[in-house]
């Protein structure tokens, strides 16, 4: 009797946790879809719109959506071509009032105005070799779309797992989930393979075409990789140095030995690739961790594919 009670409480706890996760992931997916749609429309205005300077007639500071509550936004009214317009305006750096002139993007096909995005410029340049990802080559719209797909995939597995746990007789959902898992693992393996190949080519380009220079070291730093703690036997670090170049400060990858020996104001031999506008230590040998992930996901893909294709045949035989 007591064992049955514990089993019931365990299933109830698992159900509640799963429902909470579904609610959280579902909300995050909705937010990601919202920002993706906003970015897609913004890119449409940037591609097909034209910059027009208008004079603000009136400003409304009333909040009309949840997004207005987390940003310093208002709604400006103005006239253009003998027609009245209104658009949302975020006052990120300047205050806007009646009589001010602002620059907006106008899309003739949609007959709408939008505020152009402004991206802050970084104080100094960080080498792509430090935190490499070929996803950085994608525009923000495609990054958000990738986030939507990732979150939607997690949501699908959570919902399908919940349905199967409540209705075990729905074996079709379990089979669909297994096939989707294999497709996802294959897609992740392909992406990390592409990412590893792109990293190797990028590193080799800097190593082969980089011009030898000597720069002044301003500071060195190391960053622990993964979830290793101080008690972990195996710890892996990434080492970098902030140096003074002719065009300003840059953070570049260095070796462990250089991290141990370099001090501020020391001179460091580096390779600078003018075509890629990137640099690294002359003795930096690259990050082999980028080649481990593809092998790991290809292994998972083959294991799950083997179980899906050959295990049912063994049971039938």
Neighbours of 95 (CB within 10 A): 9
Q: Where do the CATH 2.40.50 domains begin and end in the chain?
A: 49-114, 159-292
pTM attached to this predicted model: 0.79
Tell me how far CA of residue 315 lies from CA of 170, 304, 308, in angstroms: 19, 16, 12
Ordered per-residue pLDDT tens for the chain, 317 residues: 667 777 777 778 888 888 999 999 999 999 999 999 999 999 999 999 999 999 999 999 888 888 887 888 899 999 998 899 999 998 877 788 898 999 999 999 999 999 988 666 665 689 999 989 988 888 899 999 999 999 999 999 999 988 888 888 888 888 888 899 999 999 999 999 999 999 999 999 999 999 999 999 999 999 887 655 555 556 788 999 999 998 889 999 999 999 999 999 999 999 999 999 999 999 999 988 889 999 999 999 999 988 877 765 554 44
- Confirm or reject CATH 2.40.50 for domain 49-114, answering yes or no: yes
- Is the Cβ–Cβ distance between 94 and 56 less than 8 Å? no
The architecture (CATH level 2) of 159-292 comes to: Beta Barrel (2.40)
């Amino acid at each position: 009797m007591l064992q049955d009670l514990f089993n019931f409480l365990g299933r109830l706890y698992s159900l509640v946790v799963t429902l909470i996760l579904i609610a959280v992931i579902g909300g995050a997916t909705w937010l990601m879809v919202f920002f993706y749609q906003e970015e897609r429309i913004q890119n449409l205005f940037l591609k097909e719109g034209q910059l027009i300077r208008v004079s603000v007639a009136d400003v409304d500071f009333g909040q009309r959506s949840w997004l207005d509550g987390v940003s310093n936004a208002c709604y400006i009214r103005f006239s253009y071509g003998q027609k009245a317009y209104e658009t949302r305006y975020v006052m990120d750096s300047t205050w806007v009032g009646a009589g001010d002139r602002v620059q907006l993007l106008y899309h003739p096909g949609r007959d709408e105005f939008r505020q152009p995005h402004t991206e802050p410029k970084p104080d100094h340049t960080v080498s792509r070799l430090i935190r490499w990802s070929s996803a950085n080559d994608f525009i923000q719209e495609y990054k958000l779309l990738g986030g939507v797909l990732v979150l939607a995939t997690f949501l699908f597995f959570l919902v399908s797992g919940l349905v199967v746990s409540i209705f075990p007789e729905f074996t079709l959902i379990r089979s669909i989930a297994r096939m989707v898992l294999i497709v996802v693992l294959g897609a992740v393996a392909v992406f990390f393979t592409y990412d590893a190949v792109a990293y190797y080519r990028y590193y080799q380009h800097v190593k082969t075409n980089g011009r030898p220079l000597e720069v002044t070291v301003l500071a060195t730093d190391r960053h622990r990789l993964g979830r290793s703690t101080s008690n972990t036997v195996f710890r892996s670090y990434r080492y970098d140095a902030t140096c003074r170049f002719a065009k300003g400060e840059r953070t570049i990858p260095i070796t462990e030995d250089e991290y141990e020996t370099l001090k501020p104001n020391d001179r460091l031999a580096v390779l600078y690739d003018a075509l890629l506008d990137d640099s690294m230590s002359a003795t930096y040998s690259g990050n082999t961790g980028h080649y481990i992930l593809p092998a790991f996901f290809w292994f998972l893909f083959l294991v799950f594919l083997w179980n899906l294709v050959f295990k049912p045949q063994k049971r039938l035989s």
